[in-house]
A and B are shown apart, each in its own frame.
Chain A
Amino acid sequence: MFFSFAVRNLKRHWIRSALSIIGIVIGVVAIASLGIMGNSINLLVANVITDVGDTIVITPHTAIGGTFAGDPRTAVDAAIPVREVEEIRRAANPHRTIPVLQGADEVEFGRGESGYTQIIGLASDDIPILLDLADGQYPRQNQPGALVGTYLAAEYDVAPGSRLTIGNESIRVAGVLAERGFAADINPDYAIVVPDGWYESHFGARDTYPMVIVRVGDAEEIDAVKEAIDSRINRREDIVDILDSRDMLRQYEEIYQQITVFLVGIGGISLIVAAVNILNVMYISVTERIREIGVMRSIGALRREVLRMFLYEAVILGLIGSIIGGVLSTAFGYLISLAAVEVFTAGTTFGENITVFDLSAVGYIVFGMAFGIGTSIAAGFYPAWNASQLAPVDAMRQK
């Protein structure tokens, strides 16, 4: 009865109703598809980051210590002296300590192609522990050979057996590294890895390392090892920052979570605008029907029945808007995610097999729809409440 009444009133002012529905649709679509977009960025990042759960990364202490290794603010010329590296090795014993040398030089790939490339120097026996091969062999102890990151190899058509010129020195390519992704420690996909002996003779021995990696076999022991290193090296002053890959993963997750919250927040604003529109529509509806409300009250409609009738109107608007919005955001969200993946993985092979549209994306659609219905009811409640509280005599006096 009151339901069909609400439907009729919405039909009577169908343009007005349609406009409010459009408002809700936009709000729901915004909130859901931005949520999906943020979510797929998260998924993508989670996919791209290699989860080396048993790695501790030690970097020189900087004023803004405690951030992840890639933070551009840490790009200061600081390094860990070899003496401290030995201390770390002792503290981390029996776990393996891997000092990392990092630099850059101009590299010629043959056929006249060249460019500046990151060069990573590692002890020969550390290389197989840290990195996997896609092709070729690890360089042998006393025979210099380079390992080329997978993207670099693909881009310049480098294969085991080819020769590169780093600076002025020629070196044979021993192997091509497997795709490693964005890891907490080193990111060799676009780099060249050489044995430390070759590195030092090429760049000149410096006795300092920009980064030390400790591989801890058992994830349970990570905290104990970190503690041991910290108490040994940072006893008097902070010399190094000690992070494990879980910390970094957490930091990345936090950052991308914040992006998602921010995006959903923008969607939320448009839904609030839609809610204000519903409030306005409901207010007009109540105001122009004050007399009618008075009549209904005088012939026996209870306050709560009047309240219900107007709430139905808000619910119907919210429901229709949210359903349409849900359907549209399924489509939009999917397209937006595809676009986002494309932007984020341009030029790489990451994300080729990533399904960006998973269960949590459905969650955002449901959330958007629930939020749409919720705000509609909330916006409809105040005018409906006002309508129900009118004294019948006063209401009927209105023209």
Chain B
Amino acid sequence: MSGEPILRFEEVSKIYPLPAGDVVALDLVSLTVDPGEFIAVMGPSGSGKSTLLNLMGCLDVPTRGKIYLSGQEISRMSDDDLTRLRRDRIGFVFQQFNLIPLLSAVENVEFPIILTTDREESRRRAIEVMRAMHLNDALFTHRPAELSGGEQQRVAIARALVNDPDLLLCDEPTGNLDSKTGTAIMEILAEENREGKTVIMVTHDPNVAAYARRTIRIVDGRLA
């Protein structure tokens, strides 16, 4: 990469207007993320971690300030453009796995690329990524409900990686898993990072945060 940070926040604020008064979720946050980093975002609940992750993932736009994703300013983008950024450049891993219950494991994984790529190529790529996640071929046609938590999260990570994103965003990726399974998931994320993927992860578990090479602490919407 040409020294361009993958993500840059310039005095970003996010304010939610509520009837009881405005809630400042993020207050003048500035930060940069370089390619290849593995960052843990930590903080008490309600501190603004999720808001930060949503803004990084182009799921939301800031009230004030500017966010650059690989040099592109996103806060004035249309919903369709933001959606395309999420589809092509960003991978999401959620605490609740958030697999689509109607789709089989392999269909879940190919969902982000089948929107842009032909069927055969999508399937080939999905299977390739799932095998890299050490998922047994027999599980590919299973529905999410038929998979264990660890398997579901590995399917979810495969889905996040299938579009070869610049940025992998994880929201409490081990929060719903026992510690052994959680450790296996963290090994996968660390491996992805070693291969050059930029990983940003929200967690409140210090053991999980230990995998990251940088920790961002956030309290009351400000970096601490």
Contacts and interface: CB of A to CB of B under 8 A. Distances in A.
A5 interface: yes
B48 to A, nearest CB: 13
Contacts of B159: 299
A297 B112 CA distance: 10
A26 B101 CA distance: 33
Contact of B112 (A300, A391, A393): A300
Contact of A300 (B84, B101, B103): B84
Interface in B15-35: none
Contacts, number: 58
Given A392-B59, A393-B59, A393-B60, A300 B115 contact: yes
User: Closest 7 A-B residue pairs measured CB to CB?
Assistant: A300-B87, A295-B98, A300-B112, A8-B102, A299-B112, A302-B83, A393-B59
Interface residues of B, number: 26
Nearest to A11: B102
B54 interface: yes
Interface string B79-101: 11001101110001010001111
Interface in A356-393: 391-393
A393 B56 CA distance: 13
Contacts of B94: 295, 396
Interface in B67-126: 79-80, 83-84, 86-88, 92, 94, 98-103, 111-112, 114-115
A9 interface: yes
Interface in A267-324: 291-292, 295-303, 305
Contact of A296 (B60, B100, B160): B100
Interface in A1-21: 1, 5, 8-9, 12
B83 A297 contact: yes
24 contacts: A5-B103, A8-B102, A9-B102, A292-B100, A292-B102, A295-B99, A296-B111, A297-B83, A299-B86, A299-B160, A300-B86, A300-B87, A300-B111, A300-B112, A300-B115, A300-B163, A301-B83, A301-B111, A302-B84, A303-B79, A392-B59, A393-B54, A393-B60, A396-B98
Nearest to A9: B102
